[in-house]
Chain A
Amino acid sequence: MTTLAGPAATLSPVRYIASLGLCALMIGVVLFLSPGIGSKIEIASLGNAWRAFASGAGGGDDYAIAFRIRLPRTILALQAGITLSLCGAVFQTLFRNALATPYTLGISSGGALGALIAIRAGFEVAFFGISSVSFCAFGGALAVVGVVFLFTRGTRRLTTNELLLAGVTVGMFCSSMMMLVTYLSNARQTFEIITWMMGSLDPIGNMGNSLSWPLLIPAWAVLILSARALNQYTLGEDLAATRGVNVVALQGVCILFASLATAIVVAFCGPIGFVGLVVPHLTALIVGRDCRVLLPAGAMLGGVFLAVCDWLSQLTMPLAGWLTGRELGGIVLPIGVVTAVLGVPIFLVLLHRRKA
């Protein structure tokens, strides 16, 4: 794997706690600021929001905007960012490939195909409070993971590269099927499909954060607890095996849980790009490649990154309107655009600096 150098110092409890504590603090700051930041920043200021919270005035506009719209949105961004970044870091380590993302095995394409089929079929039913689109997206993602996973269980074990190829191929197949479904859709459906593909962090009508926690947290725990075994994996499968790592089981568990978690995010938020690719590398530049600290720190920074991107997606147009004297308040940009616009330059600058 082409690794980007980071600090090479041996991990000590002090450095571990300091790194993770700092990341946790950033999450805390994001959560504190969240009720005060949104596309209509001039209403429901941070102070007013927390005052409304303290006074228990649950019915007011300030309270509704701060705690029924902004905070759930940020929490969703944190959930999605943590998951995507963590799964990206795990896949980059597992596949020893710097280009690996949570979507490398075709999960986003599978999810998108499922969502598209639901949109095309016009299902309007909700199962247990989940929309049929989310439900089908989850199903599509799982189907892809299932196909790739069954591939790994054949008589002959696949090499990492073969696994990647299998995932990419299945993803391409789904993309082609998506074109077919889009082709067969009417104008409104086509428009909805494109909108869905852009990704979104709108919490209402979506999931209920409550629903994804019990699915995401175990996946996070399993992946973070695999850190030491994953460290061995960076030296190669053979060496990891002779060091006592059950490589088949580790690969299976990591692919399964990372894919499940990613599938949940894709189902609820659509395919949000760049977080899973860029944030693990950014984190590695800061804390190093040791998975024990890279995985939890990368996860938390991923959450912070996506939450900040979400704020930018809401603040950019109002700011542009204010600067040009036009009325653009309340307009939201697609989140996938912001993650790319923010993530790519930061990443390229850091990459360039490292080489110099």
Chain B
Amino acid sequence: MPDADRPLLATRDVSFGFPERPEFLKPVTLELRAGQCWGLIGPNGAGKSTLLRLLAGLASPSGGTMQLNGIDLATVPMRERARRIAFLPQHMPRDLANSALDVVLMGRYPHRTLGLFESAEDITIARRCLTLTDAEPFAERPLATLSGGEAQRVHLAAALAQSPSILLLDEPTAALDLRHQLTIFTLLRQLAQRDGLAVVVVTHDLNLAARFCTHVLLLNDGRTIATGIPSAVLTPAVLEQVYAVRIAQVSTPGDDHCWLLPLAPTEDVR
């Protein structure tokens, strides 16, 4: 079990730029700890996916430091990093001939250094992950024959099969129906709180973030607007500023939870 005091992954003033936009992501400081489920939210182009790619080690920051368990992330060997951090990109190939189980088994890659075939243990883990994401029924079917939502759950299972301590997901529920949006977010919350993972999920669904995440980070235009627990960050006042949308807060009877309801774009388009 990781040391509860030390963050699993910590960034300090991490910034990033493209050649044509050198100061795209302004310095971000973030500490991911075991048991946390972070929601990265913000309008299109706010830098959410960029930040997630930095955390995954897919891009090098132009400034600031990143540490995995106290070690500079850039110096961690790739395979070692892959055993700690799993990443699920927003767009995954769907037209593969491999079976769903095969795709999930491929997630075991960083755990095998030698040997050509998966072990019985790998297969057990893969099947358990498929069950977790409600994808077990089509384990034997080729990925290409699955619907978008089914394929998404298979890819999520593959990320879980990597047995990471940090799970990074880019809009994992974008293709899912209501039921699976809820089951996946419930699972993410569970993974964080019960299994001690640190989860970071990019999402556009403010209500899911508010309900299932332990923390949120609100980005706008590459700048960190607010970090903290959802009820502190996701207020209509803050969100109306960021999204330029009038937002109402409603609560359902018999439930103390508040729901955010977008009404209409505000007049002053920036």
Give the nearest-CB partner of B113 in chain A.
A244
A-contacting 9-mer, from B7-15, B84-92, B220-228, B252-260: B84-92
Q: Which of B115-134 contact A (CB under 8 A)?
A: 116-118, 123
- In angstroms, Cα B106 to Cα A177, docked, is 45
Q: Is the CB of A16 within 8 A of B116?
A: yes
A349 on the B face (CB < 8 A): no
Q: Using Cβ atoms and an 8 Å threshold, which residues of chain B touch A242?
A: 56-58, 81-82, 85-87
Question: What is the interface size of chain A, counting residues whose CB is below 8 A from a CB of the partner?
Answer: 34
- In angstroms, Cα B93 to Cα A236, docked, is 7
Q: Is the CB of A241 within 8 A of B58?
A: yes
B105 on the A face (CB < 8 A): yes
Q: Is the CB of A228 within 8 A of B109?
A: yes
Q: Using Cβ atoms and an 8 Å threshold, which residues of chain B touch A289?
A: 96-98
A6 on the B face (CB < 8 A): yes
A3 on the B face (CB < 8 A): yes
Q: Is the CB of B97 within 8 A of A231?
A: no
Q: Is the CB of A284 within 8 A of B78?
A: no
- In angstroms, Cα B110 to Cα A243, docked, is 6
B144 on the A face (CB < 8 A): yes
Q: Using Cβ atoms and an 8 Å threshold, which residues of chain A touch B95?
A: 1-3
B35 on the A face (CB < 8 A): no
B200 to chain A, nearest CB (A): 13
B236 on the A face (CB < 8 A): no
A197 to chain B, nearest CB (A): 35
Query: Which of B79, B81, B92, B118 is the one whose CB lies under 8 Å from A235?
Result: B92
Q: Is the CB of B97 within 8 A of A8?
A: yes
Contact A5-B97, Cβ < 8 Å, known A243-B110, A243-B162: yes
Give the nearest-CB partner of B112 in chain A.
A228
Q: Is the CB of A3 within 8 A of B144?
A: yes
Q: Using Cβ atoms and an 8 Å threshold, which residues of chain B touch A2?
A: 95
Q: Is the CB of A239 within 8 A of B144?
A: no
A238 to chain B, nearest CB (A): 5
- B-contact 0/1 string along A33-67, CB 8 Å cutoff: 00000000000000000000000000000000000
Q: Is the CB of B142 within 8 A of A5?
A: yes
A163 on the B face (CB < 8 A): no
Q: Is the CB of B97 within 8 A of A232?
A: no
Q: Is the CB of B89 within 8 A of A239?
A: yes
B140 on the A face (CB < 8 A): yes
- In angstroms, Cα B118 to Cα A308, docked, is 36
- In angstroms, Cα B140 to Cα A341, docked, is 37
- In angstroms, Cα B103 to Cα A243, docked, is 13
B202 on the A face (CB < 8 A): no
- B-contact 0/1 string along A96-118, CB 8 Å cutoff: 10000000000000000000000
Q: Is the CB of A9 within 8 A of B86?
A: no
Query: Which of A8, A10, A235, A238 is the one whose CB lies under 8 Å from B141?
Result: A8
- A-contact 0/1 string along B47-75, CB 8 Å cutoff: 00000010011100000000000000000
Q: Is the CB of A3 within 8 A of B58?
A: no
Q: Is the CB of A10 within 8 A of B99?
A: yes
Q: Is the CB of A236 within 8 A of B92?
A: yes
Q: Using Cβ atoms and an 8 Å threshold, which residues of chain B touch A9?
A: 99, 140
Q: Using Cβ atoms and an 8 Å threshold, which residues of chain A touch B172?
A: none
A245 on the B face (CB < 8 A): yes
Q: Using Cβ atoms and an 8 Å threshold, which residues of chain B touch A4?
A: 97
B150 on the A face (CB < 8 A): no
Q: Using Cβ atoms and an 8 Å threshold, which residues of chain B touch A246?
A: 78
B160 on the A face (CB < 8 A): no
Give the nearest-CB partner of B19 in chain A.
A156
Q: Using Cβ atoms and an 8 Å threshold, which residues of chain B touch A16?
A: 116-117
A310 on the B face (CB < 8 A): no
Q: Is the CB of B93 within 8 A of A234?
A: yes
Contact A290-B87, Cβ < 8 Å, known A243-B110, A244-B78, A244-B82: no
- A-contact 0/1 string along B235-259, CB 8 Å cutoff: 0000000000000000000000000
Q: Is the CB of A8 within 8 A of B140?
A: yes
- In angstroms, Cα B120 to Cα A12, docked, is 11
B95 to chain A, nearest CB (A): 6
B126 to chain A, nearest CB (A): 9
Q: Using Cβ atoms and an 8 Å threshold, which residues of chain A touch B93?
A: 1, 96, 234-236
- In angstroms, Cα B78 to Cα A245, docked, is 7
B99 to chain A, nearest CB (A): 4
Give the nearest-CB partner of B145 in chain A.
A5
Q: Is the CB of A11 within 8 A of B110?
A: no
Q: Using Cβ atoms and an 8 Å threshold, which residues of chain A touch B85?
A: 242
Q: Using Cβ atoms and an 8 Å threshold, which residues of chain A touch B58?
A: 238, 241-242
- In angstroms, Cα B238 to Cα A75, docked, is 74
B151 to chain A, nearest CB (A): 11
- In angstroms, Cα B86 to Cα A231, docked, is 17
A68 on the B face (CB < 8 A): no
- A–B Cβ pairs within 8 angstroms, 22 of them: A3-B97, A5-B97, A8-B97, A9-B99, A10-B118, A10-B123, A11-B102, A11-B117, A16-B116, A96-B93, A232-B106, A234-B93, A234-B98, A235-B93, A238-B87, A242-B85, A243-B107, A243-B110, A244-B78, A245-B78, A245-B109, A289-B96
Other A-B pairs beyond A5-B142, A239-B88, 14, CB < 8 Å: A9-B99, A9-B140, A10-B101, A10-B102, A16-B116, A236-B92, A236-B93, A238-B87, A239-B92, A241-B58, A243-B106, A243-B162, A244-B82, A288-B97
